[in-house]
Homo-oligomer: A and B are copies of this chain.
Amino acid sequence: MTSRAEILAVAEGLSLGAGPAALAVDVGGTGMKAALFDAGGRIVDARTAPTPECTHSAATEVMDVIAGFHSAFADEHRDHPVTEAAVVIPGIVDEASGIGILSANLGWRNVAFRELLNERLNLDVTLSHDVRAAGRAEFDLVEDTPADAVMITIGTGIAAAIRVGGRLISSGGYAGEVGFTEVAVDTAEGLFRGPIEHIASASSIAKRYSQRSGTEVAGSLDVLDAVHAGDPIAHQVFAEAVEALAAMCAQIAAVVAPATIVLGGGLSGADELLDGVAAGLESRLDVHRMPSVRRAGLGPVAGLIGAGLLTRDVA
């Protein structure tokens, strides 16, 4: 889980721009992060907490944690009274209505987070989607990004933030839910044909390696280490995931034609991933625009910074 120190280290060099002092919260699958930004858009402080378990009351408990972040910042930083807040959550999120439509991992359906948080915090709260918020931060703050760009986050799940003509698209909250898109990939075990998350998510990479090698690994970064150590099974499993990602990126290119694809998530540190996806796209795209491929710059803090940026839109 990302620590307070890591958040501060990444955010220190960034500015959201002027606006109200603001609370930003990123609700992740395992951990929640919060940041307090001052009127200059600089980070003042950060806090983290484990995400409540997936139960009937998860949404309420998540809001309890958010209220706790808010009062802790209020107590400790009286010189930065917060007047705006933005909360980003996973799953299907309708920004326009402020409703969390679905989170399979956290177990909620149709929760009016914005309205409930407005009352609870007595603040103007903006609700958005974690991956779209991360995309906003990557597109706006990291480097000059073309008006047509896509950021893909590869974690436990796979989702995309899609910017077209300089605007992030939402489509009622359903845009960029590419994790279940079907891909067909040749593998050492024959043709894989199924949802991209079953072959290329971080957890699937770890699972496929464990199954094929007989060696249990904790996560996809262990598989990457094994690739670097010359393990042929790790190499194969990783290459198959990369092929699947390239196939998915080619689908995205055919529909929205980004000029740049940004890859995020823990594995995006690997040159093999970036180069492999770029090569796979080169071999697949013909009449389409060939996007450049780069890695995300803000790591696990992108969603939190993106939430911070949303308090600037509102102002």
Which residues on A are within 8 Å of B, measured CB to CB?
92, 102, 104, 148, 160, 162, 164-165, 167, 169-172, 174-178, 180-182, 184, 191, 193, 247, 250-259, 284, 286-289
A102 to B177, CA, bound (A): 31
A180 to B102, CA, bound (A): 33
A176, A180, A257, A289, most chain B CB atoms within 10 A: A257
Given the known inter-chain contacts A164-B175, A171-B148, A259-B172, please indicate yes or no for A254 contacting B287, CB distance below 8 A.
no
Q: How many monomers of this protein are in the complex?
A: 2
- Min CB distance A315 to B, Å, is 22
Interface centre among A171, A176, A284 (most CB of B within 10 A): A171
List residues of chain B with CB within 8 A of the CB of A160. Answer: 255
23 intermolecular pairs with C-beta atoms under 8 Å apart: A102-B287, A104-B287, A148-B171, A148-B172, A162-B255, A162-B256, A164-B164, A165-B170, A169-B256, A171-B257, A171-B289, A172-B257, A172-B289, A175-B257, A176-B254, A177-B254, A177-B257, A181-B254, A182-B184, A182-B247, A252-B255, A255-B256, A256-B256
Distance from A43 Cβ to chain B, minimum over Cβ atoms (Å): 31
A184 shortest CB reach to chain B, Å: 4
| Contact A255 B255, beta carbon cutoff 8 Å | yes
- A259 to B174, alpha carbons, bound, how many Å? 10
- The residues of B that contact A256 with a CB separation of less than 8 Å are 162, 169, 171, 175, 255-256
B175 and A255 form a contact (CB under 8 A):
yes
The answer to whether A255 and B178 touch across the interface, beta carbons within 8 angstroms, is yes
